Amino acid sequence: MKKLSITSIANDLQEWLFNAVTSNNLVYNSCWEDPRLDRKMLQLDRQSRVVMLTSAGCNALDYLLDGPRLIHCVDLNPAQNALMELKQSLFKNGNFPLLWDFFGKGKIESASIVYRQDLRHFLSPSSRRYWDNHIDYFIPSPTQPSFYFNGTSGKVALMIYKRIQRKGLSSRIRKLLDAQTIKEQIYYFKEIEPLLWNGFHKWLAGQHALTSMLGVPATQRNIIAQKYDGGLFDFIQQSLRRVFTGRPIHDNYFWRVYLTGSYRRDCCPNYLREDYFQLLRKREHKIKTHTLTLLQFLRNHPGTYTHFVLLDHQDWMANSKPDLLASEWRHILANSKAGTRIVFRSAGASIDFLPAFVRDRVDFHPGLTNSLQAGDRVGTYESTHLGLVQ
C-alpha cells in the first residue's frame, strides 16, 4: 500500500478544493489573456479551425475579427460556456446599447426582464438553467455594484475594490488608469501601492481558498513559489509594479475592469466596441461551445485543426499529472497538421515540463514570444509560448 506523505495529502486537499470551487461556479468573468498578442501569433484567416478554452469568451469574440472558419470553445465548467452563450445572445438580439449595459457597464437594473423577454430563448438548455438562477449578477446593489464583482475571481476583485473605497483611493486609482505617460503612472502608483497592502493581505494570498477562487491550482502556485520567495503575494506585487510602472496603462482594459468594475468606451475589449458590433453579429454563429475537457473534445470530435489556444492550462498538469499531459498532447498532435499553431501561457519561464515527443514535433519561437511578452497588458504570466507543428 502506498504511503502518503503530509505533502501529498496537502496537495490532494488543495486539488479537491480547487475542483470544488471551479467545477460549477463561474470563475472567470473576463479573460486574462491579451488577444492583441494572440492574434499576432495565431495569424488567423478564413480557413482557420480553432480549438480553444472558453474562459469568459471575450477572446473568442475578438478572434472573429480575423474571420476564422470556426471556433470551438471547450470548457469543463458549464458556467463559463453559459457566459459565452449569454454574450452571443446579445449579438443575436442585435441591440448594441444592451450589450454595453450588460458587459460594458457590468450592470443593468432590468436584467431579469430583458433576459427573460429577449435573451433566454437564444440559449442552450444548460445555459438557461444557469442564468435562470444567476441573472441577478447584473443587477447592481450597494454590496454588489457590478457583474465583474461576481464569480469566484470577481469576489476577490470586490475585496480589493472595497479596500480602495475604504482607503479613499478611488480618485487616485482612476488618475492612474487614465495616465497618458509612464512617468504619470509611476507617480500615482507610488502613492497608491503602500496603502493597498498590509500583513493581512500577505496572509490571505497564501490561503488555498483564495488561490482556488482566482482559478490558480496548486500546481501553478508551486511554479510561482519556485521563482518568488514570497510566494503568491510577492508575485502579485511584482506583477502590479510591472504593469503599472513599466507599460502604458491608458488602454489596459484588463486592470480597469478589475479595479473599477466597468469598462470605458475607449478602453474595453474589441467585442464591446460599437464599430465592430455588426461584423461580430454576422460571425458569432461560428463559435460553438462544448462542455467537455479538451481531451474529451478531441476524442469526440476528431479532425484537422489549424489552431489551439490553451491559455495557462498546461500549468494545471505540469509535474503533477504527466500521463494526462502526455495524453492530451498526443491528441492535439493527432488532430493537427504541419503548420498548426499552438499558443499557451505559463506561470513559469520554461516549458521543460512538456513531454519530449512534443518538443520533437513542435517548433517553439521564443524570439517572437519574448518580444511580444514585453507588451502584454495583463502582466500576470511569466511566459508566453507559440509552437508550430512540423
pLDDT in tens, 189-199: 999 988 877 65
249 in a structural domain: yes
138: pLDDT strictly greater than 80: yes
Do residues 206 and 291 share a domain?
A: no
Say yes or no to pLDDT of 96 above 50.
yes
Tell me: do 161 and 238 sit in the same domain.
yes
pLDDT of 194 = 86
The reply to whether 120 and 157 lie within a common domain is no
Last residue of a domain, one of 260, 289, 313: 260
Structure confidence at residue 282 (pLDDT): 98
| Residues 286 and 360 grouped into a single domain | yes
pTM: 0.89
Q: What is the pLDDT of residue 14?
A: 46
Mean of pLDDT over the chain: 89
User: Is the pLDDT reported for residue 7 higher than 60?
Assistant: no
Output the pLDDT for position 20. Answer: 41
22-39: average pLDDT: 89
Q: Specify whether 338 is located in the same domain as 240.
A: no
Confidence band of 216 (pLDDT split at 50, 70, 90): low
Is the confidence at residue 83, as pLDDT, over 90?
A: yes
**Which of 198, 233, 260 corresponds to the end of one domain?**
260
pLDDT range class, residue 85, cuts 50, 70, 90: very high
- Tens of pLDDT along 230-287? 677 787 788 889 999 999 999 999 999 999 999 999 999 999 999 999 999 999 999 9
Are 197 and 226 members of one domain?
yes
21 assigned to some structural domain:
no
Is 206 inside any structural domain? yes
Residues 355-365: what's their mean pLDDT?
96
Q: What is the CATH number of the domain that holds 118?
A: 3.40.50.150
Q: For residue 161, tell me if it sits in a domain.
A: yes
pLDDT higher than 80, residue 16: no
Region 1-28: what's the mean pLDDT?
Answer: 51
Domain interval for residue 105: 31-78+86-136+276-389
User: What is the mean predicted confidence (pLDDT) over 297-323?
Assistant: 92
For position 348, what pLDDT does the model report? 85
Please state the domain count of the chain.
2
* Residues 206 and 230 occupy one common structural domain: yes
Q: For residue 103, is it within any domain?
A: yes
141 falls within a domain: no
Secondary structure in 3-state letters for the chain:
CCCCCHHHHHHHHHHHHHHHHHCCCCCCCCCCCCHHHHHHHHCCCCCCEEEEECCCCHHHHHHHHHCCCEEEEECCCHHHHHHHHHHHHHHHHCCHHHHHHHHHHCCCCCHHHHHHHHHHHHCCHHHHHHHHHHHHHHCCCCCCCCHHHCCHHHHHHHHHHHHHHHCCCHHHHHHHHHCCCHHHHHHHHHHHHHHHCCHHHHHHHCCHHHHHHCCCCHHHHHHHHHHCCCHHHHHHHHHHHHHHHHCCCCCCHHHHHHHHCCCECCECCHHHCHHHHHHHHHHHHHEEEECCCHHHHHHHCCCCCCEEECCCHHHHHCCCCHHHHHHHHHHHHHCCCCCCEEEEEECCCCCCCCCHHHHHHEEECHHHHHHHHCCCCCCCCCEEEEEEEC
